[in-house]
Amino acid sequence: MKEDLKDKSFDLRRFLMLSVRKIWMIMIGAAAGAVLFGGFAFIKQKVYAPDPVYRNDSLYLISFTEGKEVDTQASFNDYTWNDIIDSDIIAGTASKFMSDMSKEYLADATTVPTMSDIRLFHIYVEDPDAKKADLMQNALELALAILPEYVDGMENISAIERGKAEPVIPLTTITRWAVAGAVIGALVALLLAAYVYIMDDTVRIAEDIRTAGVRCLGVMFKNTESKAEEERLKKALNDVYKDVKEIRMIDPAGTAVTAEEAGKIKAMLPEDTEYNTGSSKAEDLLCVAAGSISISELKRYTEGKEANVILCGADHKLHRVYYFYSKKKETGPSEEISK
């Protein structure tokens, strides 16, 4: 009897086995993604990069009134300092030392980063003009000198490190974009390979014959002599056709099976069995060349027929890889036929 038709599901082992041969697709996808994403980042950061910005970083020290340190220090952190810098007392006063510069412009150019010690704080002044950044920092230093007059418990603010405007080097993310693009490109190529795999159900290994619901008697490998498999195939042929007088050997794909393979199969048949006599009583023996027909086509071809199949021209390496960790027989007839 014909084997029950199995539901064709996604065979991960088979997919990985066949995808190894398409590793070039994944490599090309990764390379294309890296070039595309990395090129975009390069153009964005190098070609269309904004004008360079210069930063003057100066460090200031606060001296608190003895006995009032705790209460006064509790009122200051980087958030309050950013507000103080933007106020009329600091930004407003500093802008008076600068010609044609508004308080708002100076406030926007100034930042106080996170403080690790409340007595020490940095002031960043950023501007496209390095000289102007230095001048604004000098003006802020003069303005900060008068702040203790307005704050109870604060005695003095002095600059202990006067910086000089240096260009701000933006964080380069070209490499990160390229790596991300390579990963995305490889995934897209992998999905494409999976799509091709799902759409292409070409018969390649013995399990594909069984998936079509047809009995596979054995496999003949191309470019490799497997004496053990040939002996199994010969035994299967003699067990199945020992009482059959006539056999019709059919290649569903036309001329995909070579004459050498056909000759070997004929030599394995029982001695008193005739083949290709043209008799309507002859039983069909399908010789299917690997890669010549799809599983669905083979199923339609054998619908309603009693047929056995020999897979010819199969890739020995693919079979060895696929069945290496499997409990299934690599080749040979099903258990039903073996009995």
* Nearest by Cα to 315 from 294, 335, 297, 330: 330
CB burial of residue 30 (10 Å; 0-12, 13-18, 19+): buried
Same domain, 208 and 332: yes
Same domain, 333 and 208: yes
**Structural domain span for residue 71:** 54-167
Sorted by sequence, the CB contacts under 8 Å of residue 180 that are 6+ apart come out as 37
Same domain, 159 and 217: no
Q: What is the pLDDT of residue 12?
A: 67
Flag whether 325 is in a domain: yes
Distances in Å between the Cα of 313 and the Cα atoms of 11, 60, 291, 307 are 22, 82, 9, 19
Q: What is the pLDDT of residue 183?
A: 94
Q: What is the pLDDT of residue 315?
A: 82
Which among 167, 183, 211 is the end of a domain?
167
Flag whether 315 is in a domain: yes
Flag whether 40 is in a domain: no
Which among 167, 187, 214 is the end of a domain?
167
The whole-model pTM stands at: 0.49
Q: What is the pLDDT of residue 335?
A: 39
Same domain, 159 and 225: no
Same domain, 215 and 323: yes
Joined tokens for residue 329 = 């027989």
Same domain, 161 and 83: yes
Same domain, 312 and 227: yes
DSSP label of 294: B
Query: CA-to-CA distance for 55 and 201, rounded, in angstroms?
Result: 63
Q: Any idea what the CATH number is for the domain that residue 73 is in?
A: 3.30.70
Number of domains in the chain: 2
Same domain, 223 and 298: yes
Flag whether 184 is in a domain: no
Sorted by sequence, the CB contacts under 8 Å of residue 97 that are 6+ apart come out as 138, 139, 142, 143
DSSP β-bridge partners for residue 60: 121, 159
Flag whether 179 is in a domain: no
Q: What is the pLDDT of residue 10?
A: 61
Q: Where are the beta strands (DSSP E) in 85-205?
A: 110-111, 120-127, 154-161, 166-167
Same domain, 69 and 153: yes
Same domain, 216 and 147: no
Flag whether 249 is in a domain: yes
Which pairs count as long-range contacts for 14-19, CB under 8 Å and 24+ apart, including other chains? Answer: 14/205, 14/207, 14/322, 15/194, 15/197, 17/318, 17/321, 17/322, 18/197, 18/204, 18/318, 19/190, 19/193, 19/197
Place of tokens 């002031």: 123
DSSP β-bridge partners for residue 120: 61, 117
User: For residues 95 and 35, is the Cβ–Cβ distance under 8 A?
Assistant: no
pLDDT in tens, the chain (339 residues): 333 334 445 666 677 666 666 778 888 989 999 999 989 888 887 777 677 889 999 999 988 888 766 666 667 788 888 898 899 889 999 988 887 889 999 999 999 988 888 888 999 999 999 999 999 999 999 999 988 888 888 889 999 999 999 988 776 788 888 999 999 999 998 888 777 776 777 888 888 888 888 888 988 888 777 777 888 888 888 888 888 888 888 888 887 788 888 888 888 888 877 876 666 777 888 888 888 888 888 888 888 777 789 998 888 877 777 776 444 554 444 433 333
Same domain, 232 and 153: no
Same domain, 112 and 68: yes
User: For residues 26 and 34, is the Cβ–Cβ distance under 8 A?
Assistant: no
Distances in Å between the Cα of 23 and the Cα atoms of 13, 27, 191, 233 are 15, 6, 12, 33
DSSP label of 304: T
What is the dihedral sign for C-alpha 9, 12, 13, 18?
Answer: positive
Which among 167, 186, 217 is the end of a domain?
167
Flag whether 309 is in a domain: yes
Flag whether 238 is in a domain: yes
